[in-house]
Amino acid sequence: MKGLYLLIPLAPLIGALVAGLFCRVIPRWVAHTVTIAGVALAFILSCVVFKDVLAGNTFNGPVYQWLAVTTSAGDYRFEVGFLIDSLTATMMLVVTFVSLMVHIYTIGYMSEDPGYNRFFSYISLFTFSMLMLVMSNNFVQLFFGWEAVGLVSYLLIGFWYTRPSATFANLKAFLVNRVGDFGFLLGIGLVLAYFGSLDYAAVFIKAPELAKMQIPLFSGVSLMSAICILLFIGAMGKSAQVPLHVWLPDSMEGPTPISALIHAATMVTAGIFMVARMSPLFELSTTALSFVIVIGAITALFMGLLGIIQNDIKRVVAYSTLSQLGYMTVALGASAYSVAIFHLMTHAFFKALLFLAAGSVIIALHHDQDIRNMGGLRKYMPITWITSLIGSLALIGTPFFSGFYSKDMIIEAVAASNIPGSGFAYFAVLIGVFITAFYSFRMYFLVFHGKERFGAAHGHHDDHGGEHHGLAPGQKPHESPLVVTLPLVALAIPSLIIGFLTVEPMIGAHFGKAILVNPAHPAMAEVHEKFHGAAAMALHGLMSAPFWLAAFGVFLAWFFYLKRPEIPAALKKHFAGLYNLLDNKYYFDRFNETVLAGGARLLGKGLWRGGDVAVLDGIVVDGSARLVGWISRLVRRLQTGYLYTYAFTMIIGVFALLSLWLKRLG
C-alpha cells in the first residue's frame, strides 16, 4: 500500500518533469498526454485509497528520513511520510478530480498560447505539491507542500511574464504569503520546542498535557493559544483571510484554469485543511478559536461586499472565493471542522465550475473580461449558460444544490457555537447569504441575460494591461470546444448532487478520529442532533431565513440589473463615499504599498545611505584611514632632512630626559 501512496504524488511529478524539462523539444500532445496521464493515474489511485479508507484502513508511516539531529541530550527526527485517513483521502479526491478537469480544460483554453507545455508542467507540479501537503504526516512536509504550492502559484500568476501587472501580482502574492509563513514557521518552531517532535501523531498525543501551559511571551497567553494563532496566521496567508487577503484578487492575472484550480478550489483551501488537521490543538484554545471565527466572519462579510461592485468577471468570482473562504474559516472557529471541509469540497466543485465557465465566456469574447460588455450570452453558449446557472445556484445555497447543505450547516453550527465572537459571526454569515446571492446573480444576469452589449466595445482596454480585446462589431460569440465544455459538465454534476449525497456521512461518522472536537464546544453535536436526512433538511431549508435572504438577493439583482438598470447608477452617485470605499477595496492595497512597501524601501535606503555609506564607510573606515594619513603627515614633518631640525629635536629630547632623571633623583 505504501508504494501506491507514493505513486499518487509521484505520477503528476513525473508528468511535470517530462513536460517541464523538455518543454522546448516535445510536441504539445506529448506534454498534455503525459501530464494528464499522471494526474488521471493519481485520481484513480485516490479513488482506490478512498475506498480503502472507507473500509477502515488508515496509514501513518514514514517514507524516508529527511533530517536528524542526534545529540546526547536528545534526538530530533524529521521524516517525509504519509498520513492517510478520511480527511486526507477526501482532500486527495477533491484535488485530483478538480486538477484532472482543469488539465483537460487547459487543452482548449491554452491552445493558442506559446507557453502551452510549460503551463502543463506547472499545473502538474502544483498537483504534486498539493498532494504532498495533504498527505503529510508531519509539519516539515506540510511546510514543504505549503511553500511549493506557493511557488507554483507564483509561477502561474506570472505566467504571462511580459505583462507588468502579472509580475507585480505574483511578487505580491509570494510576499503576502511569506508574511503568513513567517507566523506559520514560528508556530512550527514552538511545536518543536515544547513537544520535541514535528510528527502529527506524537504532537497530538502530547497536546492535552500541555493544554494549560503558559509561556512567557505575552502575559496571559497559553502555549496552545500562541501555537494555534501563529499557525493560523499561516492559514490567513494561504487561505486569503483579512488582512492577508490582498493577493488573491490580483492573482486573477494568471490564466483562468489556474484561477479555478489554485485560487479557488484547492490551494487557497490549504489553510482550511491545515486547521482541520490541527483540530486536536485548536480545540485546546478558546482564544485561538475566537480569533479564527472573528477573522473568518470579517472576511466572509466584507469581501462579499466588494464582489458587488466589480466589473471584471474573474474578480467577481475571486471576491466570492474570498467570502466563501471566510465561511469555511467561520466553521473552523465554531469547531465544526467537518462542516468546513464539507464546504471546502462543495465549493471546490462549484467554484471551479464558475471559474471555468467564466473562462469559457472569456474565450468566446476574445479575452474581454468586463461584464458590462457582455449580456445575452445564453443564446450563443448554452452549455456554459446552464452550467453557470447550476454553479451560481449552488453558490448561493439553493436547497438541494450542493452549496446549500454545506452553507446551511455552517450557519447552524455558528448559531450553536458558544465561542466568543460567534454572535458577530452569525450575523456576518447570515447577511453574507444575501450579499452572495446579490453579486452572483448580478453577474449572472449581466453575462447571460439582457441586451447584447458585446461587439460594440472593440478596442476596449481595462486598466490591467493591454491584453483584453473583445469582439469586433457584428462578430458573434460561439460555444467553446468539447475539451472546455466537458469539464464544465463534469463539474456541474457534483455541484448539483454531491451535497445531497454526502451530507450525512460528512457531518457524521466519516471523519471519525481524523478530526477531534472538544466536548466543551457543542456546535457540531447540536447540528448533528437537528439533522434528519438530506431531503428533510432541504425542505426545511425552503422555509428558513437564509433561503429567503438568498431569494431576495436574486430578486434584487434581477430588479436592479435587468429591470431598472438606472437604479444602481443612481445609487452609485448617491452613495459616492461608500462606493469609493468599496472601489478602493477598503484601501488595503494603498496602505500596503505606501506604508509597508514604501516604508521598507525608505528604511533600507536610510540604513544603507546613513548606516553603511555615511557612518561605517564614511566615518569609521575612511575616517580611520584619514586619521592614519594625518598622523603620518604629522610624523613626516619631523623627517624634514634638515640637520638643524634633527639637532634641535635631539637637544629637546636630551633636555626632557635629563629633567625626568633629575626629578626622579630629587
Partner 1 sequence: MTGTPLLSLAIWIPIVAGLIVLATGSDRNASSARMIALAGAILGFLITIPLYTGFDTHTSAMQFVEKTRWSESFNIYYHLGVDGMSVLFLLLNSFITIIVVLAGWKVVTEKIAQYNAAFLIMSGLMNGIFSALDGMLFYVFFEASLIPLYLIIGVWGGPRRVYAALKFFIYTLAGSLLFLVSLVYLYSQGGTFEIAQWHLLPLPLSAQTWIFFAFLAAFAVKVPMWPVHTWLPDAHVEAPTGGSIVLAAIALKLGAYGFLRFSLPIAPDAVHAWSGLIIALSLIAVVYIGFVALVQTDMKKLVAYSSISHMGFVTLGFFMLNAIGLEGAIVQMISHGFVSGAMFFCIGVMYDRVHSRDISDYGGVVNTMPKFAAFFMLFSMANAGLPATSGFVGEFMVILGAVKFNFWVAFAAALTLILGAAYTLWMYKRVIFGAVANKHVADLTDISAREFLILALLAAAVLFMGLYPLPFTEVMHSSVDNLLQHVATSKLP
* Residue in 41, 190, 409, 425 binding partner 1, rule: CB under 8 A: 190
* Binding flag, residue 186, partner 1 (CB under 8 A): yes
CB of 151 to partner 1, least distance (A): 6
CB of 467 to partner 1, least distance (A): 12
Whichever of 154 and 561 has its CB closer to partner 1, that residue is: 154
The pair phi, psi for residue 3, each rounded to 5°, is: -60, -40
Q: Calculate the alpha carbon distances from 199 to 144, 202, 208, 612 in Å.
A: 14, 5, 16, 44
* Binding flag, residue 627, partner 1 (CB under 8 A): no
CB of 278 to partner 1, least distance (A): 17
* Binding flag, residue 13, partner 1 (CB under 8 A): no
* Binding flag, residue 178, partner 1 (CB under 8 A): yes
Give 629's contacts (C-beta < 8 A, 6+ positions apart): none
The residues that bridge with 462 in the sheet, in sequence order, are none
Look at residue 446 and give its three-state secondary structure: helix
Site for partner 1 in 17-76 (CB under 8 A): 24, 64-73, 76
Number of alpha carbons in the 13 Å side-chain half-sphere of residue 316 = 29
Give CA–CA dist 54/77, Å, rounded: 31
Torsion of CA 83, 85, 90, 95, to 10 degrees: 10
Torsion of CA 505, 508, 514, 515, to 10 degrees: 140
Site for partner 1 in 90-149 (CB under 8 A): 140, 143-144, 147-148
Whichever of 18 and 413 has its CB closer to partner 1, that residue is: 18
Nearest to 418 by CA among 293, 554, 584: 293
Binding mask 201-220 for partner 1 (x = CB under 8 A): --------------x-x---
Look at strands 74-84 and 59-71 and give their pairing: antiparallel
* Residue in 509, 620, 627, 654 binding partner 1, rule: CB under 8 A: 620
Other C-beta atoms lying within 10 Å of the C-beta of residue 12: 32
Q: Quick one: which segment of 327-335, 350-358, 548-556, 615-623 binds partner 1 (CB under 8 A)? A: 615-623
* Binding flag, residue 7, partner 1 (CB under 8 A): no
Give 162's contacts (C-beta < 8 A, 6+ positions apart): none
Q: Kindly state the cell numbers that stand for 127.
A: 498537483
Whichever of 591 and 608 has its CB closer to partner 1, that residue is: 608
Whichever of 7 and 175 has its CB closer to partner 1, that residue is: 175
* Binding flag, residue 243, partner 1 (CB under 8 A): no
Q: Kindly state the cell numbers that stand for 419.
A: 465561542
Whichever of 35 and 338 has its CB closer to partner 1, that residue is: 35
Binding mask 402-441 for partner 1 (x = CB under 8 A): ----------------------------------------
Q: Interhelix angle for 28-54 vs 86-109, to 10°?
A: 160
- Strands, DSSP E only, in 114-186? none
* Binding flag, residue 530, partner 1 (CB under 8 A): no
CB of 348 to partner 1, least distance (A): 25
Give 55's contacts (C-beta < 8 A, 6+ positions apart): none
* Residue in 587, 608, 630, 655 binding partner 1, rule: CB under 8 A: 608
* Binding flag, residue 558, partner 1 (CB under 8 A): no
Whichever of 198 and 428 has its CB closer to partner 1, that residue is: 198
Whichever of 188 and 276 has its CB closer to partner 1, that residue is: 188
* Residue in 164, 382, 565, 623 binding partner 1, rule: CB under 8 A: 164
Give the count of residues interacting with partner 1 (CB under 8 A): 54
Give CA–CA dist 315/325, Å, rounded: 15
Q: Kindly state the cell numbers that stand for 20.
A: 517541464
Q: Kindly state the cell numbers that stand for 648.
A: 634641535
Q: Which amino acid is at 348?
A: A
Q: Calculate the alpha carbon distances from 128 to 36, 117, 435, 462 in Å.
A: 13, 17, 36, 35
The pair phi, psi for residue 138, each rounded to 5°, is: -155, 165
CB of 601 to partner 1, least distance (A): 6
Whichever of 418 and 624 has its CB closer to partner 1, that residue is: 624
Interface residue list for partner 1 (CB under 8 A): 24, 64-73, 76, 140, 143-144, 147-148, 151, 155, 158, 161-162, 164, 167-168, 171, 174-175, 178-179, 181-182, 185-186, 188-190, 192-193, 215, 217, 600-601, 603-605, 607-608, 611-612, 616-617, 620-621
